[in-house]
Structure 1
Amino acid sequence: MADNNQFALLGSRRFLPFFCTQFLGAFNDNVFKNALIVMIAFRLAASEANFLINLAAGLFILPFFLFSATAGQIADKTDKSILIRRIKLAEIGIGAFGVIALFSGNNYLCLFVLFLLGVQSAFFGPVKYAILPQHLQKTELVSGNALVEMGTFVSILLGTIVGGLLAGKTGEGESGLYWISAIIMTTAALGYSAARAIPSAAAPAPELKINYNPVSQTSRILKEAAKTPSVFYAIIGISWFWLLGAAYLTQIPSLTRNVLGGSESLVTLLLCCFTIGVAIGSLLCGRLSAGRVELGLVPIGAAGLTVSGLLLANATGSFTPPAEMTISTFWGAAGAFPILINLTLIGIFGGFYIVPLYSMMQERSAPEIRARIIAVNNVLNALFMVVAAVMGIVFLNMLGATIPQFFLIISLMNAAVAVFVFTKVPEFAMRLMIWLLSHTMYRVKHQGLEQIPAEGAAIIACNHVSYVDALLLAGAVRRPIRFIMYKPIYEIPVLHFIFKTSRAIPICSKEKDPEGYAKAFADIEQGLKDGDLLCIFPEGQLTKNGELQPFKAGIEKILQRTPVPVIPMALRGLWGSFFSHKDGHAFSTLPRRFWSKVCVVAGQPLEAAAVKAEQLQETVLGLRGDHR
């Protein structure tokens, strides 16, 4: 499966030609962009260089804001493989114009070429992410996104190195310009060749009438995205990441020259740390996600971005450059190692943050408007990156802040944005708790989970051993589960937040709460009619002795009202844990077991008519066996 070896996708025609196309395109953009920025940074006065560098960053992403709405519509209306080939042909023409601009020596003409490269990238952006769900299975989506993010940032790294190194040679004659020109044209041609091998990706909305007004179109699709809050706030989170990344990357040349006292080679080293970090973080995220969109990694990424950003601000603010700065003297200077480590950590945590958000946006967007949703994401990405460029100009040029102070400000802002997004979508915090539980206290193994239908109404019936049974099941099963649970457990502090977020259905006896009992059965019936996957613990309470208690007949009543398949499941290895009632009440002693083995087992689905409480109990007992 893809989650066992995400690199296996690179051997598939469904993925490899597209991967090569986007890799070469990102490489080409960055060869030109970083060559231009380095030439500006080291050949002009600091104040003028700061202005032009931030202007260059703004001009490159401004087309995303202007043209993404149209690009998204075209991507939904057109076969994506054909569209990619047309975009790559345009890149060849823009590259030729870029060669002329470089040899002219006119900075503003070069900035116009950078704008055109931004236009080309704006049209490629919606296709880039919308094509993945068409060519990949759901279990491959996170791995595909992880590889795309890794490839994007590795290509940024290579383009940065090549562009920066060759820009350093432009002051010694025109050999650097000849090399830059040859690389730009060769890469554009190779990108077009790779694009021709991308399999067809049929248009989901071929009859779509294109609205060329970017404002009204963006507004309309934003309203569509807002109907699914998780998609809308994923867009906000992604856009904030690109603001943060643009703020760091844009300032690195000036940081190197004016704070660290270094040269072009140190710029390359610092950019290497950041981009390698993102590549590592993306691949780690794909591995830790195990084939599912694991939202629990997003809060970890957000917290890491804030902490490592604050540490970077402190490290750069207290750095004293050696009298003669070279790469070797920088390595030996006090405070150099924390700068490199924290830049790398910002990249790693950025990978943890961005890959699940992109995957969730793709997975939860309706196929017929997916490219337009991604286009709106690109519009907001562009807006946020323009804001990053403006923030750089305001804080550094107008307010006189130092670059370390600027890093401190954006790190604190990151914490505020993270709290806002996670408050609006509590699912992130819920998935974080599930992920931490299943990766610290327990080693969770799975058997037979392929028995659970990928879609459609069904009921899971499982034994009830501990207070975290629902969390472990939710972490193991790929589909979202709505739990039917004993009301006192539903109302436990902290866990109540998780259960409410996952739309659990609390229930207690008819004698204790007749209205609540009736409401629970009405919610269950409606959930099954809506095609939800529900889970019930037929024992009705946690086991007091580790053995299965008699299954209650409530499940039979549910199936009489709404007949659906029943999947028997069993939890093994939880008896004796901190959350079970072994040797007294749960939570009564300190945890004694960590990283203990737990197994989640699923059996063959049962037809509703064949389900009786006693027989179902025997089936679950058989799945559990002697492993309590």
Structure 2
Amino acid sequence: MPDSSSATAASFTSSGPIDSLSHPSFVGFIATQFFGAFNDNLFKQLLLLLAIPTAAVATMSENGSLDSAPDPATNQAVVAPVDSEPETDLTNVPSTNSSTESTTGDTANDTADSDTAKPSGGGDLQGIATVVFGLPFVLFGGLAGYLADRYSKRTIIVTSKVAEIVVMGLGLLAFLATPMIGFAGLWIVLFLMGLQSTFFGPGKYGIMPEMLSGNQLNRGNGLVLMTTFIAIIIGTAVAGPLKDSIIPEGVPQLEAASGLWIGSLVCVGIAVVGTITSLLIIRLPAADPQLKLKAEYLAVPKPMRTLLKTDTPLLIALLASCVFWLIAGLTIQAVNSLGKTQLLVSDTKTSLMVSLISVGIAAGGAAAGVLSKRLTDRVVIQIGMWGVVAFCALMAISLPGGRHLLGFGGSIPVLMLLGASAAFFAIPIQVFLQARPPEALKGRMIAVMNQANFFAIVMSGVLYQVLNTILTNADLPRSTVFGAMAVLFLPVAIFYRPSLERTSVETLPVAPID
């Protein structure tokens, strides 16, 4: 970094926290977070789309009927046999240059009903991808929190961003190598992505109260939350068009993956830009440079175990948060599978469906902040819980023959309302979990909450693979996953009656989105 920047950074340290959100240090921090979230979601969504073994997709009309259905004579849309091994599914998806015949009305429904043309989820590996990405957060979350206190959080952030460049570079090589080594290289890169994010997170969240003065902290958190959602929405939405523009329809999955090295090259460039912006962040001393590493830092620290045993409302809220993230993890996989194997829409439309859930979450977060001022948090949570159950149940309905009730167009508003309902449920609970613990334990509570939530996300991958096997063997439509989600969440809606009395409301670290 230039000497002038170093001198400026030194003056930041000596003069204390910054008091303006337009300060270059905070702007650099926001940009770094944005580019990191964008990269994570772009790369992860590309892999999730690749993990679904379909050779061709058909477009849907607004009323949900097939405008273009697979032609049984060409086998263009026939996926690998259900009972074959996953790797065989991914390597031997039939490919053809034959054009797909246009069908409408009853012809489309007849084709969709036939055993040959019926889309299948056999060999869907999204659950494995979800487990691989989430596992580092569970295994190394405690160590990451220790390092963020032991060393300067700016150092942690910059080092993590440099690591992101390396990981994305490995991703480029893994895409190119897929015809030779299969998906093994991509799984390794996905694990390293999760590991990089694991160590980036505590530095990112922990530096906020150190970098910003008290009167700017709430607004700063709101801006970070808003820009993060924007990055998630854009990164997820871009993945589909990027894959569609690079990979011709009908190309086998492994061959398709090798062509996506261009997408990984984009991620490398974004990681470089994010690393440069991280250099603008204020230089800060370590919070506790003498902190010794203890075994308990790698799991749940003893003070937190004691607190959770004695504070029942806090423990129940943590469990409710885990159920939410279990459902959230399932939702992304369910929407991808629904779009590609039942609605038979393109990767572009499938990614749009996923990204619009985040739009609903962002809008729901803003609405929840407003409603919480007029209603109690308990009422807002009740609305959210029953909304999740109702909209999951609606998404689960399929007509005889496997045709989805809502279709692509009808699913869009329902998915957005599902996201908004999730925000109504999750945001008040997250604020409660951050505010309830004593001041000395707030940071460790956030660390434990993150570990618990990512454990739930990992379990969502395991559960999805189990559901995928059941649905495939029973020849049930993919929308049935949403029905399973509604059943899982129903006991929470019936029995959870949150006690949301906070101990230190004035020190809330998170503000509603402006």
TM-score, structure 1 length as denominator? Answer: 0.58
RMSD after superposition: 3.6
Aligned counterparts, 1:204-603, within 5 A: 204-212=287-295, 216-217=299-300, 221-288=304-371, 297-314=380-397, 335-366=407-438, 368-398=440-470, 400=474, 402-422=477-497, 425-427=498-500
1:543-583, Cα deviation, whole Å (9 max, x unpaired): xxxxxxxxxxxxxxxxxxxxxxxxxxxxxxxxxxxxxxxxx
The whole-number CA distance in structure 2 between the counterparts of 1:403 and 1:370 is 41
1:405-429, Cα deviation, whole Å (9 max, x unpaired): 221222232232245543xx4237x
1:72 aligns with one of 137, 145, 163: 145
Report the CA distance shift for 1:404/1:420 in structure 2 as closer, same or farther (over 3 A).
same
1:128 aligns with one of 185, 204, 209: 204
2:132 aligns with one of 56, 59, 63: 59
* Higher helix fraction (1 or 2): 2
Q: CA deviation at 1:344?
A: 0.4
Structure showing greater relative contact order (alpha-carbon pairs closer than 8 Å, 6 or more residues apart): 2
1:109 — aligned with what?
Answer: 185
Q: CA deviation at 1:133?
A: 4.3
Q: Alignment partner of 1:403: what SS?
A: coil
Report the CA distance shift for 1:149/1:294 in structure 2 as closer, same or farther (over 3 A).
farther
Native 8 Å contact 2:127 2:463 kept in 1:
no
Report the CA distance shift for 1:85/1:357 in structure 2 as closer, same or farther (over 3 A).
farther
Q: Alignment partner of 2:319: what SS?
A: helix
Between the aligned residues of both structures, percent identity stands at 29
* Higher strand fraction (1 or 2): 1
Native 8 Å contact 1:72 1:373 kept in 2:
no
Native 8 Å contact 1:160 1:271 kept in 2:
yes
Q: CA deviation at 1:379?
A: 1.7
The whole-number CA distance in structure 1 between the counterparts of 2:300 and 2:236 is 35
1:482-519, Cα deviation, whole Å (9 max, x unpaired): xxxxxxxxxxxxxxxxxxxxxxxxxxxxxxxxxxxxxx
Name the larger-Rg structure.
1
Aligned-partner residue type, residue 33 of structure 2: Q
The whole-number CA distance in structure 2 between the counterparts of 1:196 and 1:206 is 21
2:106 — aligned with what?
Answer: none
The whole-number CA distance in structure 1 between the counterparts of 2:213 and 2:367 is 20
Is it true that 1:45 corresponds to 2:45 in the alignment? no
The whole-number CA distance in structure 1 between the counterparts of 2:199 and 2:423 is 24
1:31 — aligned with what?
Answer: 42
Q: Alignment partner of 2:281: what SS?
A: coil
Q: CA deviation at 1:385?
A: 1.3
1:569-600, Cα deviation, whole Å (9 max, x unpaired): xxxxxxxxxxxxxxxxxxxxxxxxxxxxxxxx
The whole-number CA distance in structure 1 between the counterparts of 2:462 and 2:306 is 27
Number of equivalent positions: 414
Report the CA distance shift for 1:398/1:305 in structure 2 as closer, same or farther (over 3 A).
closer
Q: Which runs of 5+ in 1 are unaligned?
A: 1-7, 323-332, 432-453, 456-477, 481-628
TM-score, structure 2 length as denominator? Answer: 0.70
Native 8 Å contact 1:90 1:120 kept in 2:
yes
Native 8 Å contact 1:81 1:200 kept in 2:
yes
Native 8 Å contact 2:175 2:257 kept in 1:
no
1:158 — aligned with what?
Answer: 234
1:261-313, Cα deviation, whole Å (9 max, x unpaired): 22212212211321211122223334555699966533332232222222222
The whole-number CA distance in structure 2 between the counterparts of 1:77 and 1:276 is 37
Q: Which runs of 5+ in 2 are unaligned?
A: 1-18, 56-78, 87-121, 249-255, 508-514
Q: CA deviation at 1:339?
A: 1.6
Q: CA deviation at 1:183?
A: 1.4
Q: CA deviation at 1:68?
A: 0.6
Report the CA distance shift for 1:45/1:150 in structure 2 as closer, same or farther (over 3 A).
farther
Aligned-partner residue type, residue 32 of structure 1: F
Q: CA deviation at 1:109?
A: 0.5
1:444 — aligned with what?
Answer: none
Native 8 Å contact 1:102 1:110 kept in 2:
yes
1:168 aligns with one of 235, 244, 255: 244
Report the CA distance shift for 1:94/1:336 in structure 2 as closer, same or farther (over 3 A).
closer
